[in-house]
Structure 1
Amino acid sequence: MNWRDRLLPASFRGVGFWVDQAKTPVGQKGQLHEYPQRDEPFFEGLGRQAKIHDLTAFIVGADCLEQRDQLLKALEEGAGELVHPWLGRMQVKVGECEMTQTRQDGGMVTFALKFYPDQPVPFPTAAVNSREQLLLSADSLLGSAVRRFEDAISLIKAARIAVKELRDCLKDVYEVIEHEFKEVIETYKELSLLVRAVKELPREVSAEFKGLLGDIKELKDFAREGYRGVLANASQQVEAVKKIDTPKLTTGKDTVAAAQAMANLVQDAVLVKLGYKVAQMPVATPVVKLNSTPSVAQQAVQPVKRLDVPVADDVLTLRDALNDAMWQAALKADAVHYQALNALRQQLYGHLTAVSSSGVRLITLSPKQSLPALVVAYQRFGDATRVGEVIQRNSAVHPGFLPPADLKVAGE
């Protein structure tokens, strides 16, 4: 195609004109420094040149005055679309322009037009703080859990609670307390002490959990454990939530109600703890890849510093498992508590989705021969210190001999 065929008809805000010449600065702007008693100057770069378009244009024809008035009106508008014959369409602002009319050039009006790039000012946008919303929902669920427990206990006749049967019902619940709330075990060192407290002093039990979770909210597990540690602990807590969803069946209406109330309180407490823990995970910053890979010997002296980022697949697995567990817990909730549970479920889902969007995905490697995990980590990541990640994710029997089979690693 001939270059003339590629030229566009020039116009501004839909008003056409002819162009004789167009100038646009290119390259870099800067300041040249020259020093006395030195032969070599120094050029200080100040960035790219602004794309200022200088056009020498004209209008010609029997109706040149009408065309002139239309172009003048368009220029006075100040900003619009410029169709540049050589550079195409662009948004510009009008700068200093000149119009020239002479008797000898009757029927023609010439213009010296100057256009500056127009970068529209973006509208302010609000970003949802999913972490703070999650913390508020967790606080609301904690208050609702204490209210539900105390309401349920108030309908139970303590004298009708069979201690032995209640103890049998709460074995799984006590195991969860031992693992997730060690501070409570300091008060109730044996299951029998907890059973007696549920029967005789239930409000002290609920107050114990409420105060404990207030302290847990201030913990900074993420700074110590990172994404992998928090995700692993959260996955264990989801299993604990499922484990005590329904206590073991027993006889006695009041005994069953007391066991269910205590199981519900502990289950809600674990969900609140999960909310606090998940809220510690921030949305990760983009990963910056290294321009060069240090040798293994160099990494032994100075390990590679890497920003901690989550694996999206792990985050999404936790999100879906937690979502299912909370749906099951909501099935036995009253109307008020259901709203609190559902609000926390939605906030957990939203925050984990945001965290996963900033993570990396898992990919599959298919080595042709058996390789040490150290070699796989160095070849894939350029970071030998991540050998433990490769071993753990693929459940390697021996780190020196990974089988020539599909391996799952982070795709970064």
Structure 2
Amino acid sequence: MAWKDKLQPASFRGVPFEVESDDGSFGRRVQVHEYPDRNEPYVEDLGRATREMNIAAFLIGADYMDKRDRLLAAIEEAGPGTLIHPWYGERKVALKEPARVSHISKNGGMCTITLSFVEAGELAFPSARDSHGAQTLLAADKAQEVAISDFAGSFSLRQMPSFVTADALGALGDGLTGIEGALGGARGLFANPLGFLQKQLPDLLGDPVALGTSVFGMFRRGEAVLASAQGLFGGGGSYSMNRDAVRALTSVSRQFQAAPLPSATASPSRQRIVENRQAINALMSRAALVQASGMTATMDLPVHDDAIQLRQQLTGALDGDAMTANDAVYVALQDLRAKVHADVTNRLGSSARLQTIRPVSVMPGLVLAYDRYEDVGREQQLVETNRLARPGFVPAEPLKVLSA
């Protein structure tokens, strides 16, 4: 088939016209970045350029004026329209500039029209959809509410001898100490020093709702931790701190779930001790899980491998706690588990994977970061990921680095 046979009759919004010539512009948009002491620039690709098509059209024949008027009416309609281009076929376009019409007396019976089109895209507004992180925080709030209610219904010292009260105080103190120990004394994670809460325990014992609320309130909210706590867990940055904190909270929750209980006897007071211990362990476990869930929802997850591990550990701990919970708590914890899983899974696509490299020689972390990423600001990431004790002398040994 000859090339002329492939041409299509030109028209705009269904009004035909003839084409004398055309030209267009195609390609991509780029931004050139030039740097001192570098011979080659960095070219940043900003996406495909807007396609433009310019057409020198003409109308001819005894009725050329009627054809002209119909074409002008089509040109003046609002919004984009359909162009049938002889060489490019059907395109959705808009007039970039007003059309120019020209009549020459010696060329009677015809007129020329200059048309300049650009492709017309869709006006796309942000689509409404659920924020997985926000949904996780709402589910965490619900789990906290239900857990406090469950604790208030399970914990009691009413008409009990003093040794039952003493045992409850000891169990609560041990629980707070266990959480603080698991977190390595990370003061930035707590709203107030735990010693302050421990001093309040005797006054809170008579009001289980206030006691449960105070235990959950010992932590800063997940997002507040991310903004304020720095340099914890061996001096790492905020990402490693939050990652290790979530792991520690998940681990200590499992310890409370598996904590041994004293033997129950026929004595009502001894039975109450066991029930109160169960309630306290569940309260501590759920406070840790709610905090870990809130932190996971608000923290960055730049490392794919870490995100998978955190998701597995946290959802597993939520499952473990739910297995021994009553119906209301079970539903709340399972809902929280589903929201955590969906949130982390949704963000995995933007997480980089870990790769193993071996530097060619001992070098400073700044040099390795620049060689790898052309960004010296990534040195801290290398230090945190590999727990390098001397960043100025990175050994020529296998190292874990992010793929991007």
Do both proteins adopt the same fold according to a TM-score greater than 0.5, normalized to the shorter chain? yes
User: Does residue 1:316 correspond to 2:316, yes or no?
Assistant: no
Show the counterpart of 2:39: none
Distance, in Å, in 1 between the alignment partners of 2:320 and 2:345 is 21
Matched-pair contact (CA < 8 Å) for 1:160–1:255: no
Show the counterpart of 2:186: none
User: Does residue 1:251 correspond to 2:263, yes or no?
Assistant: yes
Show the counterpart of 1:38: none
Distance, in Å, in 2 between the alignment partners of 1:138 and 1:51 is 52
Aligned-partner SS, 2:113: strand
CA shift for structure 1 position 261: 1.1
> What letter corresponds to residue 290 of structure 2 in structure 1?
V
Q: Alpha carbons of 1:396 and 1:15: their partners in 2 closer, same or farther (altered >3 Å)?
A: same
CA shift for structure 1 position 380: 1.5
Distance, in Å, in 2 between the alignment partners of 1:398 and 1:72 is 74
**2:402 aligned residue (389, 392, 410):** 410
Q: Alpha carbons of 1:155 and 1:331: their partners in 2 closer, same or farther (altered >3 Å)?
A: farther
* Gap regions ≥5 residues in structure 1: 28-47, 283-308
Distance, in Å, in 2 between the alignment partners of 1:100 and 1:330 is 84
How many residues are matched? 356
User: Does residue 1:112 correspond to 2:113, yes or no?
Assistant: yes
User: Does residue 1:261 correspond to 2:263, yes or no?
Assistant: no
Distance, in Å, in 1 between the alignment partners of 2:272 and 2:4 is 93
The residue correspondences of 1:116-131 to structure 2 (distance < 5 A) are: 116-117=117-118, 118-126=120-128, 128-131=130-133
Distance, in Å, in 2 between the alignment partners of 1:394 and 1:250 is 43
Output one character per residue of 1:194-213: Cα deviation in whole Å (capped at 9) or x when no partner.
7x899876455324214434
TM-score normalized with structure 2 length:
0.66
Output one character per residue of 1:351-398: Cα deviation in whole Å (capped at 9) or x when no partner.
43455444433223255x554463534422345675564355346688
User: Does residue 1:272 correspond to 2:298, yes or no?
Assistant: no
Show the counterpart of 1:205: 211
Distance, in Å, in 2 between the alignment partners of 1:245 and 1:132 is 27
Show the counterpart of 2:193: 183
Q: Alpha carbons of 1:26 and 1:380: their partners in 2 closer, same or farther (altered >3 Å)?
A: closer
Distance, in Å, in 1 between the alignment partners of 2:304 and 2:330 is 29
Output one character per residue of 1:192-231: Cα deviation in whole Å (capped at 9) or x when no partner.
x97x899876455324214434x54673433534323212
User: Does residue 1:20 correspond to 2:32, yes or no?
Assistant: no
Distance, in Å, in 2 between the alignment partners of 1:99 and 1:22 is 17
Distance, in Å, in 2 between the alignment partners of 1:2 and 1:161 is 102
Aligned-partner SS, 1:212: coil
Aligned-partner SS, 2:154: helix
> What letter corresponds to residue 395 of structure 2 in structure 1?
L
Show the counterpart of 2:242: 230
Aligned-partner SS, 1:91: strand
The residue correspondences of 1:229-378 to structure 2 (distance < 5 A) are: 229-252=241-264, 253-281=271-299, 310-353=302-345, 355-366=347-358, 369=360, 371-372=362-363, 374=365, 376-378=368-370
Distance, in Å, in 2 between the alignment partners of 1:129 and 1:227 is 21
CA shift for structure 1 position 265: 0.6
Distance, in Å, in 1 between the alignment partners of 2:16 and 2:355 is 55
The residue correspondences of 1:48-127 to structure 2 (distance < 5 A) are: 51=52, 53-58=54-59, 79-86=80-87, 89-93=90-94, 96=99, 112=113, 114-117=115-118, 118-126=120-128
Distance, in Å, in 2 between the alignment partners of 1:84 and 1:324 is 60
Distance, in Å, in 2 between the alignment partners of 1:331 and 1:12 is 68
* Gap regions ≥5 residues in structure 2: 28-48, 184-189, 231-236, 265-270
Q: Alpha carbons of 1:177 and 1:74: their partners in 2 closer, same or farther (altered >3 Å)?
A: same
Output one character per residue of 1:223-250: Cα deviation in whole Å (capped at 9) or x when no partner.
5343232122112212122222232144
CA shift for structure 1 position 122: 1.9
The percent of aligned pairs where both chains have the same amino acid is: 28
Q: Alpha carbons of 1:251 and 1:21: their partners in 2 closer, same or farther (altered >3 Å)?
A: same
Distance, in Å, in 2 between the alignment partners of 1:354 and 1:19 is 51
**2:224 aligned residue (206, 219, 224):** 219
The residue correspondences of 1:378-389 to structure 2 (distance < 5 A) are: 378-382=370-374, 386-387=378-379, 389=381
